[in-house]
Amino acid sequence: MPLIRCHVMKMRSLIDTHAHLSDLEDMEDVVQRAKQAGVDAIVAVGANLRTCETTIRWAEAFTDYVFPALGVHPTEWAEDDIPVTLRYMEAHLDGCVAVGEIGLDYWNREARKSEEIRERQRSLYIQQLEMAAEHGKPVSVHGRGSWRDALNLARQHGPESVVFHWYSGPLDILEELLDAGYLISATPAAEFSRDHRKALEKAPLERILMETDSPVYLRNRDRTSEPADLVITLKALAKLKDASEEEVAKVTTRTAETFFGLYSGQ
């Protein structure tokens, strides 16, 4: 049975559009706290074979709440696992809402030292962009230290719908990606990261998704995040945009539902 079914009738209030649920523990509690915080859906992303499999398992366990995305992350792959992970993605993608987390990471310690690794990242990224385009799925892109190449390759090989997750790159590249019709996402780092905040100030609210990237370390709170922390993103973005939290929730949720095809088609 496909994981995405067409009975999502009510308007959601908040959607965490990028969380690594496979790296969290006590999922029942995590989901409970997210619901209490007003999070009505979570897009769970994969990063390698193990996390892709777990992502599918959580999506099956929390139907209509956890929506799966599958991908090989630029710094979390093991060469031996790649063929089987890509086959796993092919086999499960039609039941997923996106391909992700995929992309490039030139800040990664190994990638900095090795052009060969950067080239391997690019070829994996291209392969997955093409897979997404073939299956008609949007992609969630990681582009740390590599925003220029991440954008250019998405344009050349990717589907129409691309979100540059946690964008914190140069503003001229941001302008280009917005011109290309792509989105960026806001994370709890909207509270403290200068480059991330500058990008969020510049991008129109209609082109921003909200997420937590759980379980990322929140350095200003000295703990890791979970989907309930989407309210941190919401409050920070509302402040940056000088808008009410209700307005920011409404606009970003509508964008997320359209981007991931979560509508009921009503």
Place of tokens 């921003």: 208
Give the residue with the Cβ less far from Zn ion, 55 or 161: 55
Chain contacts with Zn ion (rule: CB under 5 A): 101, 213
Residues 6+ apart with CB under 8 A from 213: 18, 19, 20, 165, 166, 187, 188, 225
Q: Minimum CB separation from Zn ion for residue 236, in Å? A: 18
Q: Minimum CB separation from Zn ion for residue 27, in Å? A: 17
Give the residue with the Cβ less far from Zn ion, 101 or 229: 101
Q: Minimum CB separation from Zn ion for residue 140, in Å? A: 8
Give the residue with the Cβ less far from Zn ion, 191 or 213: 213
Indicate the DSSP class of residue 12. Answer: P
Q: Minimum CB separation from Zn ion for residue 265, in Å? A: 29
Give the residue with the Cβ less far from Zn ion, 8 or 162: 162
Give the residue with the Cβ less far from Zn ion, 8 or 190: 190
* Ordered DSSP codes for 180-220: TT-EEEE-GGGGT-HHHHHHHHHS-GGGEEE---SS-EETT
Place of tokens 């089987």: 84
- φ and ψ of 162, to 5 deg: -135, 135
CB atoms within 10 A of CB 154: 24
Q: Minimum CB separation from Zn ion for residue 110, in Å? A: 18
